[in-house]
Structure 1
Amino acid sequence: MIKSELIARLVEANPHLYQRDVERIVNTIFEEITTALADGNRVELRGFGAFSVKHRPSRVGRNPRTGETVNVPEKHVPYFKTGKDLRERLNGK
């Protein structure tokens, strides 16, 4: 599902809301999650999961074509851990 499909489903489920309002709500939620992660915070949505940021230290990698060693700089990457309710729902419990 892409963001526009999510918005369309929410509009169908809530006919009393305008599409532009639903779109603004969805964009605001995503923006707040992004801002919190950029600030180094953790975002937890109970029953769904938790978003956090993991630190990956620098390392020496290899170019697969040439075999040449390449220094890969350190970076921060987003990480998502599913919540218990979501995991149980996916596994049919």
Structure 2
Amino acid sequence: MTQKPMTKTQLVAALAETADLDKASANRALDALTEIVTKEVAAGGAVSLPGLGKFACRARPERTVRNPSTGEQMQKPADRVAKVTIAKQLKDVINA
């Protein structure tokens, strides 16, 4: 069941075919979507893509972590991470 992920070139070609666009327009649309989602999530907001999921930024508090090679305990400062929640509609399609 493991297969290679779709490349950007393949995604642009599929998007162009499905939306009846030329590849240059599909590439610009994909780049614009990526830029919009990146800016919004980096600013601390969230973006919901209907049928796919929700991209959000989550703050993680300072915590104690362990270096696996030495076993040394150290403090990791607070940081922010991107979180993706998959939409129920996509889960249902995958598990059907």
Q: TM-score, normalised by structure 1?
A: 0.86
- Aligned partner of residue 92 in structure 2, secondary structure: helix
Aligned twin of 2:94? 90
Q: Take 1:41 and 1:14, find their aligned partners in 2: how far apart are those partners?
A: 28
Match for 1:35: what amino acid?
K
Deviation, structure 1 residue 12: 3.0
1:39 aligns with 2:43: yes
| C-alpha RMSD over aligned residues | 1.4
Structure 1 spans left out of the alignment, 5+ residues = none
Matched, 1:73 2:60: no
Q: Percent identity?
A: 34
How far apart are residue 11 of structure 1 and its match? 2.4
Tell me the amino acid that sits aligned with residue 17 of structure 2.
E
Q: How many residues align?
A: 91
CA distance in 2, matches of 1:3, 1:14: 16
How many Å apart are 1:10 and its aligned residue?
Answer: 1.6
Paired residue for 1:9, among 8, 14, 26? 14
Residues 2-57 of structure 1, C-alpha deviations (whole Å, 9 max, x = no match): 22221021223345x32221111100001100001011111112222111111111
Deviation per residue, 1:49-88 (Å, 9 max, x gap): 1111111111111111111122211111111111121111
